[in-house]
Amino acid sequence: MIAQGKDIGQAAARRGSRATAPDKPGDPAGTYTCCLMKTLDAAQEAAVRRIVAELKGRPGPLIEVLHAIQQDLGYVPEAAVAPVAEGLNLSRAEVHGVVTFYHHFRRAPAGAHTVSLCQAEACQSMGALALAEHARRRLGVGFHETTPDGRFTLEPIYCLGNCACSPAAMIDGKLHGRLTPARFDELIAAQAKSP
């Protein structure tokens, strides 16, 4: 069962996350410097506030709100923490703790192309770990990272429902099976030529 935001947020606060995400703007004890208007443009701010308003009545809505923000904006900006906390009546530390606890939540925009490599059991038994190592070398980044040129974001994923064709990957939403390092390189080369 997925942990609730309050539990994770409280744990994060105990670990000291409050030092980077105090509950109140201007808290002299904290170093939270992200200003909503500085880092969220008007469209982003409107989207965050709309999502919070739409979902805040759900039970334990934080995870759902963060998923919706990521789906809408492509990531969860640090500056979204304050309006989410305010809208859901949580502390900023609680929201910040959940965003940083789950790798699924991107804290920066993804690259132009998202490469998701399946790391679940069936794919592992067919060489997914070695393929991931190859991908890291080929792209020069680890999981949850984006190449410096902004072209590729590399992510792990856990079962694409394509186990019969392991190891599997998804590139920009398109499924690929029976991947080898050579085939991976071909796909990356093809993507690199596209916008």
Binding site for ligand FES (CB under 6 A): 118, 120-123, 159-163, 166, 168
Name the minimum Å distance from CB 113 to ligand FES: 20
**Dihedral sign, Cα of residue 113, residue 116, residue 54, residue 17:** negative
Name the minimum Å distance from CB 120 to ligand FES: 3
Q: How far is CA 147 from CA 41, 68, 94, 157, 182, in A?
A: 25, 25, 30, 18, 20
Name the minimum Å distance from CB 123 to ligand FES: 3
Nearer to ligand FES (CB atom), residue 68 or residue 179: 179
Question: If you compute the radius of gyration of the chain from its CA atoms, what whole number of angstroms results?
Answer: 19
Q: How far is CA 140 from CA 118, 128, 145, 149, 164, in A?
A: 18, 17, 9, 11, 29
Nearer to ligand FES (CB atom), residue 82 or residue 123: 123
Nearer to ligand FES (CB atom), residue 81 or residue 160: 160
Dist. CA 167–CA 127, nearest whole Å: 6
Nearer to ligand FES (CB atom), residue 51 or residue 169: 169
How many CA atoms within 13 Å lie on the side-chain side of 183?
A: 10
Nearer to ligand FES (CB atom), residue 30 or residue 156: 156
Name the minimum Å distance from CB 131 to ligand FES: 11
3-state secondary structure of 180: coil
Name the minimum Å distance from CB 134 to ligand FES: 16
Max Cα–Cα distance, the chain, nearest Å: 56
Residue 117 β-bridge partners: 156, 169
